[in-house]
Structure 1
Amino acid sequence: MFFLMSAASVTDQFTDAFRDPAILTGIPMAVLGAIFMSLGAQYQHRGVQKVERVTGRSGGTGLDLHHLLNLLKRPSWLSGTLMLALAIVCQLAALSVAPLILVQPLGAISLVITTLLNARVSGHAPTRQSIRAIVAAVGGIFIFVTIAAFFATERPVTQTQIIIILGLLGVTIVAFAVLWVLLRSRSMALLYIVASGVLYGFVATLAKVVLSRIRDNNFDWLTLLSMAALIAAVLVGAYFVQTAYSLGPPDLVIAGLTVIDPIIAVVIGLTVLQEAEKAPFWAFIGFAAAGALAVYGVISLARNHPQIISDSQELPIVRGSDAEDEDGEEKPSQ
C-alpha cells in the first residue's frame, strides 16, 4: 500500500511539473542551445588548430596575444563563435523561464552531437570504452534532470545569496590563476577543461541571477556588479576553452563543459539559491549519485578517447573530411 501511495505521489509530481508552461518552453530552448554549442565547438576547435599550424606555435601552455589575433582572421573560428553566441542566447532564454537546476544540465546533449561530428571530421571512430564513457556522462546528467523536474522551483534571489555567489567566484578565479601559473608548462588539457567548466557554471548562475533581478525590477548596483562578474567569468572561461582546444579534441572539451558546468551550477542552485528546498532526502542522494556517474564518464573519456590515444602513439590515421581546412588547403600529416 505504501509503495502504491508513493508511486501515485511521484506520478502526480511529474504531471504537475510538466504542466508548467515555463518548463515546456525552457527545455526545447536549452536543447536548441546544445545543438548550437556542438557546432560552435567543432568550428572553434578547427580554427585553433589551423592557427597553430599557420603560426608554428603551440598554444598548449596557454594562448598568447599572437594566437588570439590570428583567431580573429579564421573564418571557421568566427563561425564557431557566432554559433556559440546563439547557444548563449538560447540558454539565457531557457534560464529566464525555467529553474537553473533543470535547464543547465540539458547541455549534455551537445556531447553526443559533438562526438558524432568529431568522429566524422577526424576519422576517429568511437571505441567501446569511449561510448561507455559518453553514456555514463550523459546518462548521469539526464538522471539528474529527471529528479530535478519533480522538485525544481523558482525562488526570488536575495542580496545575501548574490554576495555569496560573487565571493565564491572571486575565490575560484584566484585559485585557477594560481594553478595556471604553476601547471601551465605541463600542457594539461584536463586542467583547462575543468577550469572553464567551473567558470561557466558560475556564468550560468550569474545569468540566472541577473535575469531574475531584472524581471523583479531590482536593477541596482548589485545587479550591475553581477553583470560585470559574469562578463569577467565569460572572458576567463573562454580563454581556458580555446587553450583546451589546442590540447584535446572538441568532444572531450564539450564533455567537460557539459558535465562540470551544470554540476557547479546545480550545486550553487541547491545550496545557495535553494531551488530544491522541498526535495526529500532521497532526491539529494539521487543528485549525488547522478553527478558522480557523470564525472566518472568525463574522466573515463579523457583516458579512453580514441583521438588522444592515437595522437599519443602517432598512429597514421586518416583524418576523414577534415583532411582539408576551411580555406581548401590540405592539412599536413599528423
Structure 2
Amino acid sequence: MDPDLSELTELIPLDPTQFIGIPLALIGAVFLSLGAQFQHRGVVKVEANTADTLGKGLNGKQLALLLARPSWVLGTLMLGLAIVFQLSSLYFAPLIVVQPLGALALVITSIMNSRINKVKLNRKSITAIAMCVGGVFVFVGVAAFTAVDKPVQSRQLITILIVLAVVLAAAGITFALFRRRIRAVFYVIMAGVIYGFVATLAKVVLSRVQQGSSTG
C-alpha cells in the first residue's frame, strides 16, 4: 500500500459498517415527524369531542378515545418504529454521527405543517431550513469520517448518571417552585436535554451488548 494512503487511513478511522447507521437515522427522523403529526391530529379530534374537560388533565375517557382514533394509534406505531430505527442506527454508528440527524424531523414537521395548514413558507423560513439541513449534513459528513466509537467506561457512566440526577433534581425543583410561571420553552429545553441523555445511555447499553457478543 502507498505510504501516504496508509497514513491517511490511520488518521481517518473509516469503518464501512458505521455508514449503515446514517440511512437508518434518516428513516427514523421521517417516522418521528410523521408519528408526531398523526398523534397531534388524533389529539385535536379528541379535544374537540371533550371540550368540557380541557385544562383538567388526561382522564380515562380521553385515553379511551385516543386509543379509538386510528390516526393517534398510527402515530404511536410510527413513533415506535422511529425508536427502533434510531436504536438500530446507534448500534452501527457512533452517537455523534447519527444523533444530529434527528434534527431533520423538525424540518420535515415544519414543511408538513405548512402544507397541511396551507401556510406558505417565507424566505426567512426557507433560509433557516436550508441552513439547518446543510449544517446537519456537513457535520454528519465530517463526523462519519473522523468519529471513533470508544466504549464508555464504568467511571464515565457513573459521571453521566450523576449529571442526569442533578439535571432531573434541578428540573423538579424548578417545576415545583415556579410551575405557574414556567413558559413552554422550559419544557422544550428539558425535553431536548433528557432526550440527549436517553440517547447516550441507549448507546452505552448497545455498546456493552456488542462487547458482550464479541467476547462471548
The two structures have a TM-score, normalised by structure 2, of 0.82
- Aligned-residue offset at 1:41: 1.2
Q: Secondary structure in 1 aligned to 2:92?
A: coil
SS at match of 1:205: helix
Are the counterparts in 1 of residues 19 and 144 from structure 2 also a CA contact under 8 Å? no
Change (3 A) 1:139 1:68: farther
Aligned mates of 1:75, 1:178 — CA distance in 2: 38
**Root mean square deviation of aligned Cα:** 2.7
Contact 2:42 2:66 in 1 (8 A): yes
Aligned: 1:215 with 2:216: no
Question: What is the CA distance between 1:212 and its match in structure 2?
Answer: 0.9
Q: 1:170 aligns with which of 165, 172, 176?
A: 165
State yes or no: 1:157 paired with 2:132. Answer: no
Once residues 199 and 166 of structure 1 are traced to their aligned partners in structure 2, the CA distance between those partners, rounded to angstroms, is 12
**How many residue pairs get matched?**
205
* 1:75 aligned onto 2:102: no
Shift of residue 69, structure 1, vs aligned partner = 5.4
CA apart distance, 1:210: 0.6
Q: What does residue 90 of structure 1 align with? A: 85
* 1:41 is aligned to 2:33: no
Q: Provide the residue aligned with 1:124 in structure 2.
A: 119
> What amino acid is the match of 1:128?
R
- Give 3-state SS (helix, strand or coil) of 2:212's partner: coil
Contact 1:30/1:103, CA 8 A, preserved across alignment:
yes
Could you tell me which runs of 5 or more consecutive residues in structure 1 were left unpaired when the two chains were aligned.
1-7, 219-334
Q: CA deviation at 1:161?
A: 1.2
CA distance in 1: counterparts of 2:70 and 2:198, whole angstroms: 26
Matching residue of 1:205: 200
What is the SS of the residue equivalent to 2:68? coil
Instruction: Identify the residue that residue 106 of structure 1 maps to in structure 2.
Output: 101
Aligned sequence identity (%)? 51
Runs of 5+ consecutive residues of structure 2 not aligned to the other structure: none
Q: Secondary structure at the match of 1:44?
A: helix
Question: Aligned equivalents of 2:177 and 2:95: distance in 1?
Answer: 34
Offset at residue 206 of structure 1 (A): 0.7
CA distance 1:163–1:174, change in 2 (3 Å): same
CA distance in 1, matches of 2:118, 2:171: 34
